[in-house]
Amino acid sequence: MPGITIGDSLPNLQVDTTHGKINLHDYVGDSFTIIFSHPGDFTPVCTTELGMMAAYADKFAERGVKLLGLSCDDVASHKEWIKDIEAYNKGKKVTYPIAADPTRDIIKQLNMVDPDEKDDAGHNLPSRALHIVGPDKKIKLSFLYPSSTGRNMDEVVRALDSLLKASKHKIATPANWKEGEAVVIAPSVSNDEAKKLFPNGFKTADLPSKKEYLRFTNV
């Protein structure tokens, strides 16, 4: 599907939200920001996802990360729906704004349209898309799930921790990595540079090719 993807700039849209009008670039400011869309208000999986985001809000705040939800209904509908989300999720408050998109213009610009899901009037609904935007207003990571599959917020936190670490060090994180585990040194870093950049040292995997590209360190 055409539209923004990793490396692209977030369009600087004005959006209507449950916290009033927001200018996307002003909202991101100097923070990493997670923008996540949902097919519609008063739908079952979305109610669990928005509640889970509310339950994880402290984890994102600890990391200095902002949240912005989006569903294509209007703000009045979102405000009614929040009562259900909070009740279902044992009173956990939805403290982040939820953007409205009744004309579907925002979901088109943010590449959040699900071509297979339409409302009763035949209008496209949003997919379960999630963009993590950096302080430079560029998309750093995107998830795209169909309406049938609710997202795992532990995976959002895990991916975010990887992004935050890779934004500070010349590293990448291996498969199934979790915060606290060893990371790999970026291929662009020579062994001589790695000795300077990683004072804790690093271990190189002994591979049949004898190429020294898989180097683990702790940062």
In terms of CB distance, is 38 or 131 closer to ligand BEZ?
38
In terms of CB distance, is 2 or 44 closer to ligand BEZ?
44
Per CB under 6 A, residues contacting ligand BEZ are: 39-40, 43-46, 117, 147
Residue of 123, 102, 114 whose CA lies nearest to 147? 114
> In which region does residue 29 sit, left (phi positive, over 0), alpha (psi from -120 to 50) or beta (all else)?
left
Min separation Cβ 51 and ligand BEZ, Å = 12
Q: Is 161 exposed, middle or buried (0-12, 13-18, 19+ CB in 10 A)?
A: middle
Min separation Cβ 152 and ligand BEZ, Å = 15
In terms of CB distance, is 48 or 204 closer to ligand BEZ?
48
Query: Active-site residue numbers?
Result: 46
**Cα 51 → chain centroid:** 16
DSSP state, 103?
Answer: T
Strand 33-38 with 128-133, pairing = antiparallel
